[in-house]
Structure 1
C-alpha cells in the first residue's frame, strides 16, 4: 500500500499519524499533525498532510485554510516549490484511492488539485476518467475544463494516458459533439499510429452499426487517414460507413480508391464487394454492377485456387459474405451455391487454423450433467426492429418452456431505445448482450452448453458466420435470415415443400430439413394509422394503383422493365415506388425505363420511407396490386402484403430468394398471381389491374385465411419447429 509522503525525518508524532492514517482514523492522524506543526511550524509537509486528513473527513474548507496557512509569507519561488510538494501528496493519495476503486474520494482530491493547479492536464484527464467511472461524465467536461485547448497548446503530454482517456470516452459517450474535436486534438501527439487506429476503428464500428450513426463514424475514422492515408482496412470501413449513411457516391469513390491501393488478391475481392454494394443500391448503375460482380467472381475463383489457410481473422470475416450479392443478380442456384460453398469452406479452414485451440475444445465437449430440457440458442444481430426481429418473435413467444430452455445471443446488442429488442430480452430464458467479437460469443454459447444453435443471420453478418464456423454447439442450424451459408459446421437448413425445389439438396452442403407446410409463420402484424391518400398523391380515385416497396438491391432492371410493361397495358394506372436506396438514382432508373417502354413519367410516384413499420403496413392499403421483385423476392414485405389482404404478383424462380413469395402465397391459400415465366408475370399484373372482381375475391380469400392458413398460425409452426429440434437431437445422440 502506498503511504502518504511524509517528511524524511520521522518524528514519533509522524509515525503515529501514519499508523492512524493506515487504519483510516483520520481525526487522530490530524491531531498528530496539529501537534507536529506546533513543534515544527517550519516543516511544510505537516501542513500538507494535515490538510489531507481534514479533506478525507469531508472538511474541505478547513483543508484549504490549512494549505494556505502553510503557504503564508513565502516568496514566489518558495510558494511554487511548496505547491509542487502539496500536489505530490494529493496525487499519491488520489492514485491510492483509484487503485482501491474508491473513485468518489479520488475525484474529490483531484478536484482540489485542479483548484490548486487548474492547467495540470494530466490531473484533468484523470478527472474525466473518474467521472466516467462514476457515470457522471456528460461530455461537457471536455470544454468546461479546458482540456481540448490544453492538448492543442502543450508540447509534452503523457500520450498513453491521453489515449486511455480517448478510449474511455469513446466507450462511454461517443456521440457527444466535443468528442470529434478531442480526438482530433490527440492526433498531434500520436507517435505510433497503430495505438490511435486500434482505438478508433472498433469504436467507429460500434457507432456506425450499434448506435446507427454512420455519418459521425465516418468523420471520426477519417482522422485515422491523416496518420495512414493509404490504410486499406480504414478505407474499407470508411466506404462501408458512407454506404450505410446512404452517401452512395462517396462510398463508391472510397471503394474505388480501396481497389486502386489493393496489392493482394483478397484485398481486391473486398474492394470489389464494397463497390458492388454501392452500385446495388443505385439501380441506374446496374450494368456496372454486373461487370463488377463478374470481376469479383473471377477474383474469388483465383483465391479458391490458391486456397490459403493462413488468412488473418479480419480477412476471413470479410470473406464470409463476399458473395452476398449473387442471388440479387441472377437466379442460378447451382452456380451461386457452388461458389458460396467453396468460399465458406475456405473460411472455415482458416478459422480452424487461427482458432485451433477453441475449435478442438468445442469438439471435445461432453454431454455429462445435461438436463432433460433441450437448450436452444438463437443467434442474431437482428433481434430488434428488423425483418428477422418481426418474424421470429412468434416462435419465441409460443415455445414450450417446459421442454425447451431458450437462450438469446445478441450480436452487436444496440444500446438504443428499441421496444422489439426489449421484448426479446424479456422473452428469452437467458440472454447474452454480445458485442462484435465472435470468439467471446462462441465461448459463451459453449459455456452455456447449448444443444442446438439456430443462426438467424447466415451470410448477412460475418460475425455470425465465424461463430458458426467455430462450432460451439453440437447441432447447428440456419433459419430465416437468408439462404444457407454453406459453412461445413452448419448441419441443417430449415425449408419447406415450396421454398426450395426438389433437386436443391444436390447443391446444398447442409442437410435440408423441410417442415411439413411452411418455413415461417406469424400470428399477424401491428398496423398503424395510414398517412397516404390518393388525392395527396394526385391520383384519381378510380385509378389502379400498383406498388413496389423494396430496397435498391432487389430492383433488377429486367423485372423493373416488366413492371413498366404492366403499367403500359393499364392506361389509368399509377406505380408507387419506395424503399431504402439511392433516391435520385432510383428515380432516374425508373423514369428512363418508363420512357423506353412508352409510359408517362407522370404515372410514377416515389415515396419516402414511413416513420414506422406499423405505418408502412397501414399505407399498403393504398395499393390495388403489389408487384414483387425477382430474382430476389420480398419476404417480410410479402407477408405484410398478404396480411393486408392485397393481391400480389410474384415471379417464381429456382433459388431460395426467388421462391419466398411463392411459399407464402401457397401457405396463405392463394395461387392467383403466381407466375413461372416473365410472360406470366406481365399477364397476372395486367389481369389483376383490369379485373376488380378478381382483386376483391383474392382480398376476401386472404382475409378468411387469417383463421385457417398455416402462414398465420405461429403456434402450429412452433410445434413443427420443436418437433424438428427433437428429431435433430435424437439423430445427433444416435450418432
Structure 2
C-alpha cells in the first residue's frame, strides 16, 4: 500500500483539504511539503501543491511538482492538464500541447484539456485543427457550454461570421446570461449582409434586457457636488496597442485642461508602451481591470465624473454593465463600436452626418445621436510609418488591389464583387493580408471562393501579416489600390492605406459600419471614391486602375492631403467634441 492510499495518508490529505477550505493556506502548504518529501512522495500532495504554486505564478515549481505527480501516476489526466497550463506559462508551447493531447488520449471526454489545447492552437493560428478538436468535443458532449462557446470564437476568428452567429446562438440557448457570447453575437451580426438593420437593432434591445445588463442590486452612488472644470471619464479595454488608441490618443492630447479634467478608466489586462503613453495624457488614471462592476461604478461616481464615455461598445473587454449602474449623470458611447448599445442608461452616441445620416439611424438607436460637425473621429498616424514609395505598378506593370481588413469582413459577397473587379482589370492581382491566412485550411477556403467566381489562385496573394507596425505598413508598398469591405467597411485599415498613399474604393451602405468609408474618404476630399452600387464599385476600380499617372500623383501628395483634412485636425475635432460635451453638461443642469 502506498503512502497515499494508507489510512494515515488519506487522513492527512483530507486534513489539508479542510485547511484549504478554511483559507489556512500556510498551514496547508506546510502539510503538503511534508507529504511531498516522503519517500515515496504522495502523488495527490504533489498535485495539490503544484496547483497552489501555479495560482501564485510559480510556473516552474508547479511544472516540477506535476512532473513528479506523473512519475507516480502517468495517466493522471488532471495533472497532465495542469502541466500543460504551467508549460504554457513558461512559453514551452510544444510541450504544453503534448501534455494536453496526452490527457485527451487517455480521457477523450476531458473538456477542459480539449479547450486548453484548442486555445493553444488558436493562438498559434492553427484554426482548422482547433475547430476539428472542438467539434469532436461538442459531438462527445453536446451540452457543453464552454466547448460550444470556444467553437464559436474559432469560427469567428476564421472569418466565418454566419457559422459563428449560429454557434453563439447555441451558446446562449445553453446559457442565456453568457455575457461574452451575447456581445460577440452582436458584433458578429454586423459582418454579414444577411442581417437587416432592424433585426440587429432588435438583438441589441434583447441583449440590454438580459441579466448581465441588469445589476443584481442597485446601489446609491455618492457623487461630489459638481463645480469647476467639467470632469470627463473615458472607459476602455483598449488603452494599449489597439486600433482605438489611434483615434483617442489625439483627443486626449488636445483636450483643453482649463475647461475639462480628464479621467481614464482602463480595463487593460496587459499594459504596454501605448498604455504608458496614454496614461501621461490624462489628469487621472484608474485601473479597473478585475474590479467588480458595482465597485468600478462606485469609483467613477466617487470621482465626480460629469460625462462618462464608453470607447468599446459590445467588443471584447468592454464594461457596459458598469454603465447600467449609472455612475455618471451623462453617459456616452463613441469610437469603438459601430452601432447602438441598446442600453437605456446610455444617453448619447457620437457620430457624424456622413456615417449616420439623420432619419432612420436615429430611430434604430436607443441613444440620441450626437453628430459632430465634420468627422466622428480623428486619426493619429503611427510614428513608425515608412516613407512613401511609388505605386508598385510603375515597376511590375500590373495593378495590385489590396485589403488588409479583418478576415471576418471578407464575406462570400465581398469576394464575388472583388472577383468582378479582377475580371474588369486585365492582369490585375489582389493582395489579402490577415492573420488567419497563416492557416492552410483558411487559405484553401478563400482561394476556393475566388475559383468559384472564375478567378485563378495565381492572381490572389495571401499574407498572414507582420508583427511590427512598420513592417505591417510597408506591405502597402505592394498595393496600388485598396478595396474596401462591405457591409462592414474598414476604419483603421482605410486610414493606414491613405497615409501610405493607397486610394481606397468604398461601397457605401445603409448603416454606420457600411458608411465609415464614406465618412473617412469624404473628409479627406475623396468623395469620388465612395460608390453606392456594385456596378459603380467595379467601374470606379477600372477607372482608377487605368489612370496610372493619377495613381503616382495621388501617392506623392497623400500625406499632405491628409494633414489638411479634418481627419488629422486633432485640435479642431477636439474643440468640436468639447463644444458638444459642454452643451450636454449645460443642458443637463438647466432647471
TM-score (ref. length: structure 2): 0.80
- Superposed displacement of residue 281, structure 1: 3.4
Going from structure 1 to structure 2, the CA distance change for 1:504 and 1:165 (only over 3 Å counts) comes to same
Q: For the residues of structure 2 that align with 1:512 and 1:529, how far apart are their CA atoms?
A: 38
Matches within 5 A, 1:63-82: none
Which 10-residue stretch deviates more, 385-394 or 220-229?
220-229
Query: Does 2:275 align with 1:429?
Result: no
- Pick closer, same or farther for the CA change 1:568–1:463 going to 2, 3 Å: closer
Listed as ranges, the matches of 1:28-107 within 5 Å are none
**Greater shift after overlay, 478-487 or 159-168?**
159-168
**Contact persistence 1:412–1:433 (CA under 8 A):** yes
Kept in 1: contact 2:422–2:429 (CA 8 A) = yes
For 1:361-440, what aligned pairs fall within 5 Å after superposition? 361-362=220-221, 365-368=222-225, 370-414=226-270, 418-439=272-293, 440=295
Q: Secondary structure at the match of 2:186?
A: coil
C-alpha distance in structure 2 between counterparts of 1:539 and 1:375, whole Å? 53
Contact 2:36–2:45 (8 Å) recurs in 1: no
1:552 counterpart = 2:407: yes
Residues 708 and 360 (structure 1), Cα distance of their counterparts in 2 relative to 1, 3 Å cut: same
Q: Following the alignment from structure 1 to structure 2, what is the Cα–Cα distance between the partners of residues 564 and 275?
A: 30
The answer to whether residue 204 in structure 2 is matched with residue 334 in structure 1 is no
User: 2 CA distance for matches of 1:445 and 1:222?
Assistant: 45
Q: Residues 48-71 of structure 1: CA distance to partner in whole angstroms, max 9, x if unpaired?
A: xxxxxxxxxxxxxxxxxxxxxxxx
Output the CA distance in 1 between the equivalents of 2:256 and 2:200: 37
Do the aligned partners of residues 680 and 605 (structure 1) sit closer, same or farther apart at CA in structure 2, a change above 3 Å counting?
Answer: same
Q: Which residue of 1 aligns with 2:135?
A: 256
Q: Which residue of 2 aligns with 1:663?
A: 519
Q: 1:539-589: per-residue Cα shift (whole Å, max 9, x none)?
A: 962211111112221111111121122112222322111112143234323
Q: Deviations over 1:254-286 (max 9, x none)?
A: 54356557777xx76x76554343223335xx4
Which residue among 694, 702, 706 is the counterpart of 2:562?
706
Equivalent in the alignment of 2:377: 520
Aligned counterpart for 1:122 among listed residues 30, 39, 43:
30
Give 3-state SS (helix, strand or coil) of 1:384's partner.
coil
1:189-228 to 2 correspondence within 5 Å?
none
Matches of 2:284 and 2:171 in 1, distance apart? Answer: 43
Cα shift at 1:472: 2.5
Aligned partners of 2:388 and 2:346: how far apart in 1? Answer: 44
Range 155-164 or range 623-632, more displaced? 155-164
What is residue 64 of structure 1 aligned with on the other side? Answer: none
Flag the 1:316–1:559 CA change in 2: closer, same or farther, 3 A.
closer
Q: Specify whether residues 604 and 474 from structure 1 end up closer, same or farther in structure 2 by C-alpha distance, changes over 3 A only.
A: same
Moved more, 723-732 or 682-691: 723-732
Does residue 280 (structure 1) correspond to residue 152 (structure 2)? The answer is no
| TM alignment of 1:158-173, pairs within 5 A | 163-168=51-56, 170=57
After superposition, what is the alpha-carbon deviation per residue over 1:288-337, rounded to whole angstroms, capped at 9, x for unaligned?
x535635755886x79xx9x7xx5xxx34543433320001126222112
Distance in 2 between residues matched to 1:261 and 1:391, nearest whole Å:
45
- Aligned twin of 2:504: 648
Show CA shifts across 1:370-393 (max 9, x none).
341122222112111111112211
Partner Cα separation in structure 2 for residue 460 and residue 723 of structure 1? 28
* Aligned counterpart, 1:293: 165
Greater helix fraction, Structure 1 or Structure 2:
1
Distance 1:585 1:406, change over 3 A: same
Shift of 1:488: 2.5
Residues 446, 121 of structure 1: alpha-carbon distance in 2 compared, 3 angstrom cutoff: closer
Structure 1 residues 401-435: Cα deviation after superposition (integer angstroms, max 9, x where no partner): 222222222213415xx321220122222212332
Structure 2 contact 415–450 (Cα < 8 Å) conserved: no
Q: What is the 5 A alignment of 1:677-688?
A: 677-688=533-544
Q: Is the 8 A contact 1:625 1:648 kept in 2?
A: yes
State yes or no: 1:571 paired with 2:447.
Answer: no
For 1:213 and 1:493, how far apart are their aligned partners in 2?
45
Q: Name the SS of the counterpart of 2:219 in structure 1.
A: helix
Query: SS in structure 1 opposite 2:430?
Result: strand
Tell whether the 8 Å contact from 1:550 to 1:580 is kept in structure 2 after alignment: no
- TM-score, with structure 1 as normaliser: 0.66
Residue 664 of structure 1 deviates from its aligned partner by: 0.3
From 345, 348, 352, the counterpart of 2:209: 345
Question: CA 1:182/1:412 → structure 2, altered by over 3 Å: closer, same or farther?
Answer: farther
What SS does the aligned partner of 2:350 have? strand
Question: What are the residue-to-residue correspondences of 1:520-669 with 2, within 5 Å?
Answer: 520-529=377-386, 541-583=396-438, 584-669=440-525
- Residues matched between the structures, number: 557
353, 361, 365: which one pairs with 1:504? 361
Counterpart position of 2:15: none
SS for the counterpart of 1:547 is strand
Write the distance in 2 (CA, Å) between the matches of 1:494 and 1:532: 36
Q: Secondary structure at the match of 1:459?
A: coil
Once the two structures are TM-superposed, the CA of residue 196 in structure 1 deviates from its matched residue by 11
Larger deviation, residues 315-324 vs 180-189: 180-189
Distance 1:148 1:448, change over 3 A: farther
Shift of 1:225: 8.7
1:694/1:231 CA distance change after superposition, 3 Å: same
Residue 525 of structure 1 contacts residue 643 of structure 1 at CA under 8 Å; is this kept in 2? no
Q: Is the 8 A contact 1:408 1:430 kept in 2?
A: yes
CA contact (8 A) 1:125 1:162 kept: no
Mark the CA change 1:152 to 1:562 in structure 2 (over 3 Å): closer, same or farther: farther
Cα distance in 1, alignment partners of residues 92 and 322 from structure 2: 26
2:41 corresponding residue in structure 1: 153
**Kept in 2: contact 1:320–1:465 (CA 8 A):** no
Residue 260 to residue 149, structure 1, CA distance change in 2 (3 Å): farther
Quote how far apart the aligned CAs of 1:703 are. Answer: 4.2
SS in 1 for 2:187: coil
User: How many angstroms apart in 2 are the aligned matches of 1:606 and 1:245?
Assistant: 17
**C-alpha contact 1:438 1:463 (8 A) present in aligned 2:** no
- CA shift for structure 1 position 533: 11
